[in-house]
Structure 1
Protein backbone atom coordinates (compact mmCIF):
# COMPACT_ATOMS: atom_id res chain seq x y z
CA UNK A 1 0.00 0.00 0.00
CA UNK A 2 1.40 3.39 -1.02
CA UNK A 3 1.64 6.11 1.62
CA UNK A 4 -0.79 8.99 1.23
CA UNK A 5 0.73 11.84 -0.72
CA UNK A 6 0.49 15.32 0.74
CA UNK A 7 -1.88 17.66 -1.18
CA UNK A 8 -0.59 21.22 -1.50
CA UNK A 9 -3.32 23.68 -2.54
CA UNK A 10 -1.95 26.62 -4.49
CA UNK A 11 -3.18 29.41 -6.75
CA UNK A 12 -1.68 31.02 -9.83
CA UNK A 13 -2.33 34.33 -11.59
CA UNK A 14 -2.42 34.56 -15.37
CA UNK A 15 -2.06 38.35 -15.34
CA UNK A 16 -3.20 39.76 -18.68
CA UNK A 17 -2.35 43.12 -20.24
CA UNK A 18 -2.90 44.27 -23.82
CA UNK A 19 -3.42 40.72 -25.07
CA UNK A 20 -0.29 39.37 -23.35
CA UNK A 21 0.14 37.19 -20.25
CA UNK A 22 2.77 37.56 -17.52
CA UNK A 23 5.04 34.51 -17.27
CA UNK A 24 7.44 34.18 -14.31
CA UNK A 25 10.59 32.07 -14.01
CA UNK A 26 11.10 30.38 -10.64
CA UNK A 27 14.10 31.63 -8.68
CA UNK A 28 17.32 29.83 -7.81
CA UNK A 29 17.22 27.80 -4.61
CA UNK A 30 13.50 27.05 -4.96
CA UNK A 31 12.01 23.72 -5.91
CA UNK A 32 11.55 23.59 -9.69
CA UNK A 33 14.09 26.42 -10.09
CA UNK A 34 14.29 27.69 -13.65
CA UNK A 35 10.83 26.47 -14.63
CA UNK A 36 8.22 29.00 -15.73
CA UNK A 37 4.98 29.45 -13.83
CA UNK A 38 2.04 31.70 -13.20
CA UNK A 39 2.97 33.66 -10.05
CA UNK A 40 1.08 32.76 -6.90
CA UNK A 41 1.50 30.40 -3.98
CA UNK A 42 0.00 28.34 -1.20
CA UNK A 43 -3.50 28.89 0.12
CA UNK A 44 -3.36 29.40 3.89
CA UNK A 45 -5.98 27.57 6.02
CA UNK A 46 -7.96 30.77 6.74
CA UNK A 47 -7.98 32.02 3.11
CA UNK A 48 -10.11 31.56 0.03
CA UNK A 49 -8.28 30.94 -3.24
CA UNK A 50 -8.93 34.52 -4.34
CA UNK A 51 -7.68 35.99 -1.04
CA UNK A 52 -4.51 33.90 -1.28
CA UNK A 53 -3.90 35.12 -4.82
CA UNK A 54 -4.24 38.78 -3.82
CA UNK A 55 -1.76 38.25 -0.96
CA UNK A 56 0.73 36.23 -3.00
CA UNK A 57 0.84 38.74 -5.89
CA UNK A 58 1.40 41.62 -3.45
CA UNK A 59 4.25 39.65 -1.80
CA UNK A 60 5.89 38.26 -4.96
CA UNK A 61 5.42 41.05 -7.51
CA UNK A 62 4.71 44.11 -5.32
CA UNK A 63 1.53 44.98 -7.21
CA UNK A 64 -2.21 44.45 -6.92
CA UNK A 65 -4.58 42.53 -9.16
CA UNK A 66 -8.26 42.05 -9.77
CA UNK A 67 -8.95 38.31 -9.77
CA UNK A 68 -11.34 37.46 -12.62
CA UNK A 69 -12.31 34.10 -14.14
CA UNK A 70 -10.98 30.71 -13.09
CA UNK A 71 -9.11 29.03 -15.94
CA UNK A 72 -8.74 25.52 -14.49
CA UNK A 73 -7.66 23.41 -11.54
CA UNK A 74 -4.92 20.88 -12.26
CA UNK A 75 -2.91 18.44 -10.19
CA UNK A 76 0.59 17.08 -10.57
CA UNK A 77 2.35 14.59 -8.33
CA UNK A 78 5.90 15.70 -7.58
CA UNK A 79 8.35 13.85 -5.32
CA UNK A 80 7.52 16.28 -2.48
CA UNK A 81 3.71 15.92 -2.77
CA UNK A 82 0.78 16.55 -5.07
CA UNK A 83 0.26 20.16 -6.06
CA UNK A 84 -3.34 21.18 -6.78
CA UNK A 85 -3.17 24.47 -8.69
CA UNK A 86 -6.15 26.69 -9.44
CA UNK A 87 -5.24 29.33 -12.03
CA UNK A 88 -7.20 32.55 -12.52
CA UNK A 89 -7.17 35.31 -15.11
CA UNK A 90 -6.10 38.50 -13.32
CA UNK A 91 -5.79 42.17 -14.27
CA UNK A 92 -3.32 44.66 -12.79
CA UNK A 93 -5.01 47.34 -10.72
CA UNK A 94 -1.99 48.96 -9.05
CA UNK A 95 1.77 48.91 -9.50
CA UNK A 96 4.14 47.30 -11.98
CA UNK A 97 5.29 43.70 -11.44
CA UNK A 98 8.81 43.59 -9.97
CA UNK A 99 11.18 40.69 -9.41
CA UNK A 100 11.41 39.70 -5.75
CA UNK A 101 11.32 35.88 -5.89
CA UNK A 102 11.52 35.15 -9.62
CA UNK A 103 14.61 35.42 -11.84
CA UNK A 104 12.73 36.72 -14.90
CA UNK A 105 9.29 37.80 -16.04
CA UNK A 106 8.03 38.08 -19.60
CA UNK A 107 4.84 39.37 -21.17
CA UNK A 108 3.98 36.93 -23.96
CA UNK A 109 1.14 36.46 -26.38
CA UNK A 110 -0.71 33.27 -25.41
CA UNK A 111 0.37 31.50 -28.61
CA UNK A 112 4.06 31.95 -27.64
CA UNK A 113 3.69 30.67 -24.08
CA UNK A 114 4.26 26.94 -24.87
CA UNK A 115 7.81 27.79 -26.02
CA UNK A 116 8.86 28.22 -22.35
CA UNK A 117 9.77 25.31 -20.05
CA UNK A 118 6.71 25.36 -17.76
CA UNK A 119 6.36 23.65 -14.39
CA UNK A 120 4.25 20.53 -15.02
CA UNK A 121 1.27 21.65 -12.93
CA UNK A 122 1.00 24.93 -14.92
CA UNK A 123 0.89 23.26 -18.34
CA UNK A 124 -2.87 22.69 -18.50
CA UNK A 125 -3.61 26.41 -18.04
CA UNK A 126 -0.90 27.27 -20.60
CA UNK A 127 -2.57 24.95 -23.13
CA UNK A 128 -5.99 26.50 -22.47
CA UNK A 129 -4.65 30.03 -22.92
CA UNK A 130 -2.45 29.17 -25.93
CA UNK A 131 -5.34 27.35 -27.57
CA UNK A 132 -7.44 30.50 -27.51
CA UNK A 133 -10.06 28.88 -25.30
CA UNK A 134 -10.05 31.94 -23.06
CA UNK A 135 -10.15 35.56 -24.15
CA UNK A 136 -7.16 37.51 -22.73
CA UNK A 137 -7.78 41.05 -23.98
CA UNK A 138 -7.68 43.99 -21.55
Structure 2
Protein backbone atom coordinates (compact mmCIF):
# COMPACT_ATOMS: atom_id res chain seq x y z
CA UNK A 1 0.00 0.00 0.00
CA UNK A 2 1.50 3.32 -1.11
CA UNK A 3 1.65 6.20 1.31
CA UNK A 4 0.33 9.56 0.18
CA UNK A 5 2.18 12.68 1.23
CA UNK A 6 0.15 15.65 2.32
CA UNK A 7 3.06 18.10 2.00
CA UNK A 8 5.75 18.39 -0.69
CA UNK A 9 8.89 16.36 0.01
CA UNK A 10 12.19 18.25 -0.24
CA UNK A 11 15.42 16.26 -0.49
CA UNK A 12 18.20 18.35 1.07
CA UNK A 13 21.63 17.27 -0.20
CA UNK A 14 24.34 18.95 1.88
CA UNK A 15 27.49 17.50 3.43
CA UNK A 16 27.87 20.19 6.09
CA UNK A 17 25.67 18.94 8.94
CA UNK A 18 24.91 22.34 10.50
CA UNK A 19 23.67 23.75 7.19
CA UNK A 20 21.72 20.58 6.35
CA UNK A 21 20.01 20.57 9.75
CA UNK A 22 19.22 24.30 9.52
CA UNK A 23 17.65 23.89 6.06
CA UNK A 24 15.70 20.83 7.23
CA UNK A 25 14.36 22.56 10.34
CA UNK A 26 13.28 25.69 8.48
CA UNK A 27 11.67 23.71 5.67
CA UNK A 28 9.74 21.58 8.18
CA UNK A 29 8.66 24.78 9.97
CA UNK A 30 7.48 26.08 6.57
CA UNK A 31 5.27 23.03 6.01
CA UNK A 32 7.47 20.73 3.92
CA UNK A 33 8.41 17.12 4.52
CA UNK A 34 12.20 16.73 4.44
CA UNK A 35 14.63 13.94 3.61
CA UNK A 36 18.39 14.38 3.85
CA UNK A 37 21.46 13.14 1.98
CA UNK A 38 25.13 13.90 2.61
CA UNK A 39 26.65 13.19 -0.82
CA UNK A 40 25.72 12.84 -4.46
CA UNK A 41 25.54 9.05 -4.46
CA UNK A 42 23.16 9.04 -1.50
CA UNK A 43 21.12 11.73 -3.28
CA UNK A 44 20.71 9.48 -6.33
CA UNK A 45 19.58 6.56 -4.19
CA UNK A 46 17.09 8.62 -2.17
CA UNK A 47 15.72 10.45 -5.21
CA UNK A 48 15.01 7.13 -6.91
CA UNK A 49 13.47 5.48 -3.86
CA UNK A 50 11.59 8.44 -2.35
CA UNK A 51 10.60 10.48 -5.44
CA UNK A 52 10.92 13.90 -3.77
CA UNK A 53 9.00 16.86 -5.19
CA UNK A 54 12.17 18.98 -5.32
CA UNK A 55 15.88 18.62 -4.53
CA UNK A 56 18.20 21.18 -2.92
CA UNK A 57 21.65 20.18 -4.18
CA UNK A 58 24.92 21.46 -2.77
CA UNK A 59 27.37 21.35 -5.68
CA UNK A 60 30.52 20.68 -3.61
CA UNK A 61 29.92 17.21 -2.14
CA UNK A 62 32.09 14.21 -1.24
CA UNK A 63 31.86 10.80 -2.95
CA UNK A 64 30.00 12.24 -5.97
CA UNK A 65 29.71 16.01 -6.39
CA UNK A 66 26.43 17.80 -6.96
CA UNK A 67 27.29 18.54 -10.60
CA UNK A 68 27.54 14.83 -11.47
CA UNK A 69 24.57 13.86 -9.29
CA UNK A 70 22.43 16.48 -11.06
CA UNK A 71 23.50 15.25 -14.52
CA UNK A 72 22.64 11.67 -13.55
CA UNK A 73 19.28 12.62 -12.03
CA UNK A 74 18.30 14.56 -15.15
CA UNK A 75 19.43 11.69 -17.42
CA UNK A 76 17.28 9.14 -15.54
CA UNK A 77 13.65 9.05 -16.70
CA UNK A 78 12.56 8.20 -13.13
CA UNK A 79 14.00 11.45 -11.74
CA UNK A 80 14.38 13.81 -14.73
CA UNK A 81 11.15 15.68 -13.87
CA UNK A 82 12.26 16.61 -10.33
CA UNK A 83 13.27 20.29 -10.05
CA UNK A 84 16.78 20.77 -8.67
CA UNK A 85 17.96 23.94 -6.90
CA UNK A 86 21.75 24.28 -6.91
CA UNK A 87 23.18 25.51 -3.61
CA UNK A 88 26.70 26.89 -3.73
CA UNK A 89 28.98 29.26 -1.90
CA UNK A 90 30.60 30.24 -5.20
CA UNK A 91 28.93 33.22 -6.87
CA UNK A 92 31.21 33.25 -9.90
CA UNK A 93 29.46 34.11 -13.19
CA UNK A 94 30.17 30.71 -14.77
CA UNK A 95 28.71 28.74 -11.87
CA UNK A 96 25.08 29.64 -12.53
CA UNK A 97 25.43 28.84 -16.25
CA UNK A 98 27.26 25.59 -15.45
CA UNK A 99 24.55 24.61 -12.99
CA UNK A 100 21.87 25.29 -15.60
CA UNK A 101 23.75 23.21 -18.18
CA UNK A 102 24.09 20.36 -15.66
CA UNK A 103 20.31 20.38 -15.31
CA UNK A 104 19.60 22.62 -12.32
CA UNK A 105 16.34 24.54 -12.49
CA UNK A 106 17.51 27.32 -10.15
CA UNK A 107 20.73 28.55 -8.55
CA UNK A 108 20.92 29.92 -5.00
CA UNK A 109 24.11 31.40 -3.58
CA UNK A 110 24.92 30.44 0.03
CA UNK A 111 24.56 31.79 2.55
CA UNK A 112 20.98 32.64 1.76
CA UNK A 113 18.10 33.74 3.89
CA UNK A 114 15.74 30.84 4.65
CA UNK A 115 12.76 32.83 3.36
CA UNK A 116 14.51 33.29 0.00
CA UNK A 117 15.09 29.55 -0.28
CA UNK A 118 11.48 28.72 0.63
CA UNK A 119 10.21 31.27 -1.91
CA UNK A 120 12.35 29.67 -4.63
CA UNK A 121 11.08 26.19 -3.72
CA UNK A 122 7.47 27.39 -3.83
CA UNK A 123 8.07 29.12 -7.18
CA UNK A 124 9.41 25.91 -8.70
CA UNK A 125 6.66 23.75 -7.22
CA UNK A 126 3.79 26.08 -8.14
CA UNK A 127 3.47 24.95 -11.78
CA UNK A 128 3.37 21.29 -10.66
CA UNK A 129 0.37 21.99 -8.47
CA UNK A 130 -1.42 23.67 -11.41
CA UNK A 131 -0.34 20.96 -13.86
CA UNK A 132 1.75 23.47 -15.81
CA UNK A 133 5.28 23.37 -17.11
CA UNK A 134 8.12 25.54 -15.88
CA UNK A 135 10.84 24.58 -18.34
CA UNK A 136 13.35 27.25 -19.13
CA UNK A 137 12.62 29.33 -16.05
CA UNK A 138 15.99 28.97 -14.37
CA UNK A 139 16.72 31.57 -11.74
CA UNK A 140 19.72 32.84 -9.88
CA UNK A 141 19.05 34.12 -6.41
CA UNK A 142 21.51 35.86 -4.15
CA UNK A 143 21.07 37.57 -0.81
CA UNK A 144 24.27 39.60 -0.85
CA UNK A 145 23.80 43.12 0.39
CA UNK A 146 25.24 46.12 -1.42
Specify if TM > 0.5: no
Bigger relative contact order, structure 1 or 2 (CA pairs below 8 A, ≥6 apart): 1
**TM-score calculated relative to the size of structure 2:** 0.29
Give the structure with the higher percent strand.
1
**TM-score calculated relative to the size of structure 1:** 0.30
